[in-house]
Amino acid sequence: RAQDEGAGLGGHIATYASAATAMETAFHHVFSAEGRGDLVLPQPHAAPGIYARAYLEGRLTEQQLRNFRRELGEGGGLPSYPHPRSMPEFWQVPNASMGLSVPMSIYIARFAKYLQHRGLLASDDARIWCFIGDGEADEPEVLGTINIAARERLDNLVIVVNCNLQRLDGPVRGNGKIIQELERAFRGADWQVLKVIWGSGWDALLASDHEGVLRHRMEECLDGDYQRYSILPGDEQREHWVHGDPRLEQLMNTLTDVEVAQIKRGGQDPKKLYAAYRRACESEDRPTVILVKTVKGDGMGSALQGRNTAHQKKDLSREERIACARSWGIPLDDEAIARADFYCPEEDSDELRYLRARREALGGYLPRREVPAASLKAPDAAIFTTFDGGSESRSLSTTTAMVRLLTKLLKDPEVGEFIVPIVPDEARTFGMDALFKVAGIYSPDGQRYTPVDAEALNTYREAIDGQILQEGICEAGAIASFIAAGTAYATFAVPTIPFYIFYSMFGFQRVGDMIWASADMMARGFLLGGTAGRTTLNGEGLQHQDGHSPILASTVPSVRTYDCAFAWELAILVRFGIQRMFVEDHDELFYLMMYNEALPMPARPAHEDLDEGVVRGGYLLEPATGDGPRVNLLGSGTILFEVMQAAATLREEGYSVAVYSITSYVELARDAERAEQAGTADAEPAWLDTIFRETDVPTVAATDYVRALPRMIASWITGPFTALGTDGFGMSERRSDLRAHFKVDAASIADAARKLTVS
């Protein structure tokens, strides 16, 4: 129907044909909506089938179906794939990026156990059901994350692999057997493995196969052979099966050619599927994978069924539409079928009564996404004044400041139990090891050994009710835990506050696809980019030194990116973030840069609008004085300290210098674009216009990131503008030499200001 619109909207029509029996059997008899209900992640390309079912259930209108893949269509439309941000009351988990649904389902299942062990979620029988394709299993995130599910005994998790033996271009394993390959991988990882390979039509033959010749022949056939068999008529299938063996010929003679052609694979047999689902639900202490053999485009005729082009087939001819409809018993006339009219049985029909009765018996409709009204109360305001007096004679890094804030938040009576620190085996790097004893590291096994540092103050303490999620060297798993914690307010009605701290180079660059998915899923929480800055992380070199993650973060609309210089700026933003996300219920993420350079922190200035300035992206830190040549210096993060040194030098030379702390070029640019697009006299002015009251003043902006970051605001700076940044590759060196090399040190900043004022 979407294709008939003539706009090239596309749509995949073969996937659900292979998955329909597996999905519908589960919808009718397995998926529970009782209590918080099961979490169901269908194959993304199977979304049209889920929409069709929701239409029959009365949850979607015909107008919405007409606007499939036309979200801006009149009367509302439907997105191509599961997108919670597009349908926030329907879809639960985004999985259109192939392979991501497996780590997300694993870590959501694990987070349910975490909440239960910590007493924040009642134990129940709810499960996570994740459906993927066999070709999708080649994504490294799939098999790369399955070990933790068995290690932590996630018996609340079921993965169903739709083995239709085909991917987009052709066979998944034409010269091999994908089901056996996946069986070895999952069984080796200690999962319960269930295989649904053959339909009931084979039962009698297999029962009479006393010599095992049929089983041997089945094992002998490759997936490329099975794909070909799915398009052959019965007599040719028989010939291939017999393969010149008189014993097989005798077995197969009990079936007619028509019966041979009609025998289904296990994934098209509801009884076989139901048996596997029940076995999965009875599993104790082990996750389950069900390997289901199907035919891509099953029942859709010679144009699609089993063809290499099935995935890309987006339309059917008039004759093909009519043939499909007749084979499925759709009671519309030929013209209605040719037009792809939607068919919905009468309200009192047996079909609709059965469909609705089954869902009523299972507690309601799925998928559904519900967000409870309850929110958190703000934590004690005193927590965030810790750094207002500065650090006096001691130096302090913003990383250390963040750990101190976390320590206090963990003890807060309002939010303490909801704080979820997440770290991928870098806690000691970030100075978080002090939290091991305070909060404990979550382990479903507790701690059955005596740690080597048992006598130390900050001993490595694991506990069944531990609060810290220590993910090991697994960024994909860590961000999946962040997604699970950041969406628990909707999935589990538990408003946990995740603080995920990581090497900033290995965040958006490493798992950007999953961060995008977290935004789609409307996650809330703090992403903490540790060891930030290309010159601040000295010695580590090219692969570790981050000079561009704020740029990557700026591409995610719901991420607010900040680059703090001072500990009290960080405190302001953490307080604001908790208020914004968990008290006021805004679906946003906060990305905060954190540095490992210890510097003397000044006291908080007595600015009336300081908090607003920090939140909105910048404020005047040091006003200009004197009558000399005017220049504005902009700095952020650790480079702000270089800017302040440059300002002192220039003032000694007679310049009138104003210094601005820019906490977020991204927020300033977004706000300026908003004001520009509003274009009305009564619209709120851009924050840039508020803080830069003078016009035509030469401005130098310096950052520990690429020059593109400060250039985001260049269009709204009225005077001459120069950006200094760390474009290029990092290298192993001292901070001072790195900053001189990239020309972001105090001397280079002062020199740029001199040149700009002369020009």
Residue extents of the structural domains in the chain: 3-199+264-296+307-361, 381-432+468-600, 620-758
Selection from 627, 694, 699, 632 nearest residue 659 by Cα: 632
- Mean residue pLDDT across the chain: 92
Confidence (pTM): 0.94
Evaluate if residue 311 carries a pLDDT over 70.
Answer: no
- Indicate the Cα dihedral angle 445, 448, 452, 458, nearest 10°: 50
Evaluate if residue 11 carries a pLDDT over 70.
Answer: no
Q: Which CATH number fits domain 620-758: 1.10.1740.10, 3.90.105.10, 3.40.50.920, 3.40.50.80?
A: 3.40.50.920
Evaluate if residue 588 carries a pLDDT over 60.
Answer: yes
**Helices (H), ranges, 10-155:** 15-29, 47-56, 62-66, 101-117, 140-143, 147-151
pLDDT digits (tens, 9 = 90+) for 156-198: 999 999 999 888 788 899 999 999 999 999 999 999 999 999 9
What integer is the mean pLDDT of 219-229?
87
DSSP 670: H
CB 196 within 8 A of CB 290: yes
Evaluate if residue 494 carries a pLDDT over 60.
Answer: yes
Evaluate if residue 524 carries a pLDDT over 70.
Answer: yes
What integer is the mean pLDDT of 99-117?
97
CB 467 within 8 A of CB 439: yes
Evaluate if residue 140 carries a pLDDT over 90.
Answer: yes
| Alpha-carbon distances of 11 from 70, 168, 321, 400, 686, rounded to whole Å | 11, 13, 16, 50, 42
- CATH class assigned to 381-432+468-600: alpha beta
Q: Residue 263: what pLDDT?
A: 84
- Using left for φ > 0, alpha for ψ between -120 and 50, and beta otherwise, residue 597 falls in beta
Helix/strand/coil percentages in the chain, nearest 5: 40, 15, 45
Q: Residue 10: what pLDDT?
A: 67
pLDDT digits (tens, 9 = 90+) for 675-722: 999 877 778 899 999 999 888 999 999 999 999 999 999 999 999 999
pLDDT digits (tens, 9 = 90+) for 401-448: 999 999 999 999 999 999 999 999 888 888 888 899 889 999 999 999
pLDDT digits (tens, 9 = 90+) for 609-637: 999 999 999 999 999 999 999 999 999 99
What integer is the mean pLDDT of 245-267?
87
pLDDT band of residue 456 (cuts 50, 70, 90) is: confident
- The second-level CATH assignment, the architecture, of 3-199+264-296+307-361 is 3-Layer(aba) Sandwich (3.40)
Q: Residue 392: what pLDDT?
A: 78
Q: Residue 309: what pLDDT?
A: 63
In whole angstroms, give the CA distance from residue 109 to residue 38.
Answer: 11
Evaluate if residue 223 carries a pLDDT over 90.
Answer: no
Q: Residue 308: what pLDDT?
A: 59
CB 559 within 8 A of CB 589: yes
Q: Identify the weakest region by mean pLDDT among 250-259, 311-320, 464-473.
A: 311-320
Please state, as a whole number, how many other Cβ atoms lie within 10 Å of the Cβ of residue 322: 19
Evaluate if residue 14 carries a pLDDT over 80.
Answer: no
Q: Residue 469: what pLDDT?
A: 96
What integer is the mean pLDDT of 387-392?
90
Over 504-542, what HEC string results?
Answer: HHHCHHHHHHHHHHHHHCCCCEEEEEECCCCCCCCCCCC
Evaluate if residue 645 carries a pLDDT over 70.
Answer: yes
Q: Residue 665: what pLDDT?
A: 98
Q: Residue 312: what pLDDT?
A: 60
Q: Residue 697: what pLDDT?
A: 95
Q: Residue 401: what pLDDT?
A: 95
Evaluate if residue 673 carries a pLDDT over 60.
Answer: yes
pLDDT band of residue 306 (cuts 50, 70, 90) is: low
In whole angstroms, give the CA distance from residue 369 to residue 365.
Answer: 10
In whole angstroms, give the CA distance from residue 192 to residue 99.
Answer: 20
CB 547 within 8 A of CB 723: no
In whole angstroms, give the CA distance from residue 433 to residue 455.
Answer: 14
| Alpha-carbon distances of 625 from 254, 631, 702, 746, rounded to whole Å | 101, 11, 21, 20
Say if 3-199+264-296+307-361 and 620-758 have the same CATH topology.
yes
